[in-house]
A and B are shown apart, each in its own frame.
Chain A
């Protein structure tokens, strides 16, 4: 990743844990991808060594993130900070599940 000097080229990251008992299954995965696609920023989700594009449902589905799994969200772009906040909030709420 190139290191620009302007603020919107900086990578922001945030750590989250999957709280809901069913984990990141298809429905929440789609919610997350839908949300990610509302932002301009380039968004990635990391699980351990694995890194996927948060805007691709095919890739997000490969995370197989169960309850308690720690994910690292990263964002680069003008609305990076807003994107991270929105995604963190959706995950923290357990996607509206238990």
Chain B
């Protein structure tokens, strides 16, 4: 599995409009729903699950990144969306710092292996300061795609 395989070109928001955690999750989820051709009902359930997940334990893992994630039966394949906030979002992160990059992962409900592989892939790259800094600075969709292509070259 590669980032470029799960990240859709249309699921990148270089400048999130929303300044709140839940607003930003919804904004990013909306583009993923279109990419994955999911119904508004499924979208509503997924949004609720994502927000509940944050309430139970933040996915703001520190160092300016958050990885909201959810498995749902209507999701057919593992897909990733990336959103950037230049002001930073309050995710109640582990290190209490603001979140500048959001990586939202949706996976099918019945494929735990693939879900864990998707998370592994994301964190393998997020561990590297150069990737985190690159994401934070990538102000256009092309810049994000270039960054992702670059790390897998």
Contact = CB atoms under 8 A, between A and B. Distances in A.
B112 A61 contact: no
A14 interface: no
A58 B112 contact: no
Interface string A37-62: 00000000000000000000111011
A22 B110 CA distance: 10
B132 to A, nearest CB: 10
Interface in A1-25: 21-25
Contacts, number: 48
A70 B67 CA distance: 26
Contact of B120 (A27, A63, A67): A63
A26 interface: yes
Nearest to B58: A30
Interface residues of B, number: 21
B115 A25 contact: yes
Nearest to A64: B120
A98 to B, nearest CB: 12
B116 A62 contact: no
Given A21-B112, A27-B56, A27-B57, A58 B63 contact: yes
27 contacts: A22-B112, A23-B112, A24-B116, A26-B57, A26-B119, A27-B56, A27-B57, A30-B94, A57-B61, A58-B62, A58-B63, A58-B123, A58-B127, A59-B123, A61-B119, A61-B120, A61-B122, A62-B120, A62-B123, A62-B127, A64-B116, A64-B117, A64-B119, A64-B120, A65-B116, A66-B112, A67-B112
Interface of A: 21-27, 30, 57-59, 61-67
